[in-house]
Copies of this chain bind each other. A is one copy, B any other.
Amino acid sequence: MAIQKSEEKRQKILQAAIQLFSENGYSKATIKDISKEAGVSFGTVFTYYETKDKLFEAAVLEPLEEMKQVLLSHAEDQEDIIDQIKETIRMHMMYFARQATYARMVQYVIGQRERFPELFDELNAFTEDLQDSLKPLVEKGQEAGVLIKLDPKNVAITYLAYINGVRLTTIDDIDQVPAWNMFVDHAFLLFGPKQ
């Protein structure tokens, strides 16, 4: 089983790493545990990732691209701006529900910004992109008169905080759709709907 590093094996290791890093933190998650979880031998981890540090970095940054694609896009096929915002929120929420483990990794890094400054900066840069991407939605809603006047930037900031808080405080259960619906509805309040 030589000749060529397998992308499949690399992925298994990465997923095991995300799992254990997010559950136990950087130090408690040992390479040995990760290798066992990934179903490979101890040394094989080092065939794919030079050091534990590099593996952690990859566990934070590699899934970030997909996260960006999901979170920076908004629902387009809605006529009503309110529906569009709600649908966008729903997409975000669903991503967090499905990628619960990765979301915890992100929060772990955000929570220890002094320890992982480069990674934190990378994640932080993304939150600013996210704020920018939400701004036009908010403005459109305000222009349409269905949202009260609030600074769009502040709406974005608090909405983002809310999503993170939900992820942090909620016990994972992707199948509890009603709960997710509730979180979507309440998130919408942060956009300042007139009622």
Is B110 touching A168 in the complex (CB atoms < 8 A)? yes
Is B127 touching A169 in the complex (CB atoms < 8 A)? yes
Number of copies: 4
Q: Which residues of A34-76 have CB atoms within 8 Å of chain B's CB atoms?
A: none
Give CA–CA (A190, B188) in the complex, Å: 9
Task: Name the prevailing secondary structure of the A interface residues.
Answer: helix
Is B168 touching A107 in the complex (CB atoms < 8 A)? yes
Is A170 touching B161 in the complex (CB atoms < 8 A)? yes
Interface string of A10-43 (1 = CB under 8 A from B): 0000000000001111111000000000000000
Would you call A163 an interface residue if the criterion is a C-beta within 8 Å of the partner chain's C-beta atoms? yes
Give CA–CA (A27, B27) in the complex, Å: 6
Would you call A95 an interface residue if the criterion is a C-beta within 8 Å of the partner chain's C-beta atoms? no
Cross-interface CB contact of A112 among B24, B114, B127, B169, cutoff 8 Å: B24
Give CA–CA (A112, B24) in the complex, Å: 6
Number of A interface residues, CB 8 Å?
Answer: 42
Would you call A5 an interface residue if the criterion is a C-beta within 8 Å of the partner chain's C-beta atoms? no
Q: Which residues of A141-163 have CB atoms within 8 Å of chain B's CB atoms?
A: 148, 150-151, 154-155, 157-158, 160-163
Cβ-closest chain B residue relative to A161: B165
Give CA–CA (A158, B186) in the complex, Å: 7
Give CA–CA (A194, B110) in the complex, Å: 35
Please give, as numbers and ranges, the residues of chain B lying within 8 Å of A166 by CB-CB distance: 158, 161, 165
Supposing A168-B164, A169-B161 touch, asked if A111 and B114 sit within 8 A by C-beta, the answer is: no
CB-based closest 6 A-B pairs: A165-B165, A27-B27, A161-B165, A158-B186, A164-B165, A161-B166
Could you name 5 residue pairs across A and B whose Cβ atoms are closer than 8 Å? A26-B28, A27-B28, A107-B111, A111-B111, A158-B186
